[in-house]
Amino acid sequence: MAFKLKSYLLVGTRLVSVDVYGYATRSIPGIDIVGLGSRGKLIREKINFITNQYKIKRREAKRYVISVECEVGEDKLKNLYSDLEFPILILYWSMASIISLKNLDKCWSTGSVNVDFEIKCPLLPKLYSKDYIANLDHQRILISPHCAINKMMVAPVAHIAWEDLIRDYLNIGLPSNEDG
């Protein structure tokens, strides 16, 4: 089954649309990220770490291939890769059935994720400024953390809070059973 998610990057003063898409096959289990050069390996390792650290639900043992494509060359895209980590994580978890969101065609997101599972979306306030808001696709649904939604004034798109998607699937904020 194929999945697709939209993202946006700010390249200089220009808003660039990015397609993040992927598929899963019953092959040797793993994840490949194509289109970001060596940065794809860094994102892959970070996503594997976060997934293994925080998930409750078991992911399917498949081979996941995620591709990143936009009109900007790969050399420039490699410098902006951190704003694609969150969309890649959403796409991967959707393909692996960790979250229940299956139809991502009308969704978009942007932002980075660190290994402590803190999601940062510094580009969102800039995207919602009067200079860029007209370029956003108003028919799409933004997936972002609650904090990013609360900081934005008036948004032209519907929102899905990331915390609402993962609440039942991840082991975040649960007290440890270990002593000490």
Tens digit of each residue's pLDDT (9 = 90 or more) over 98-146: 888 878 888 889 999 988 888 888 888 777 776 666 666 666 788 888 7
Residue 90, domain member (yes or no)? yes
Measured CA to CA, the distance from residue 18 to residue 14 in angstroms comes to 13
pLDDT for 85: 92
Whole-prediction pTM: 0.85
More confident residue, 152 or 53: 53
User: Of 174, 147, 171, 149, nearest to 159 (Cα)?
Assistant: 149
Residue 120, domain member (yes or no)? yes
Amino acid at 104: L
What is the count of structural domains for the chain? 1
Sequence-distant (≥ 6) Cβ neighbours of residue 15 within 8 angstroms: 8, 9, 127, 132, 135, 136
96 and 64 Cβ atoms separated by less than 8 Å: yes
Whether residue 178 has pLDDT greater than 60 = no
**CATH at residue 112:** 3.30.230.10
Residue 106, domain member (yes or no)? yes
- How many residues are there in the chain? 180
Residue 177, domain member (yes or no)? no
pLDDT for 152: 58
Whether residue 148 has pLDDT greater than 50 = yes
Residue 139, domain member (yes or no)? yes
Measured CA to CA, the distance from residue 101 to residue 179 in angstroms comes to 36
Instruction: List the domain range (segments joined by +) for residue 106.
Output: 2-166
Number of CB atoms found within 10 A of residue 57's CB: 15
Give 18-73 pLDDT, tens digit per residue. Answer: 999 999 998 888 899 998 888 889 999 999 888 888 776 667 789 999 999 988 87
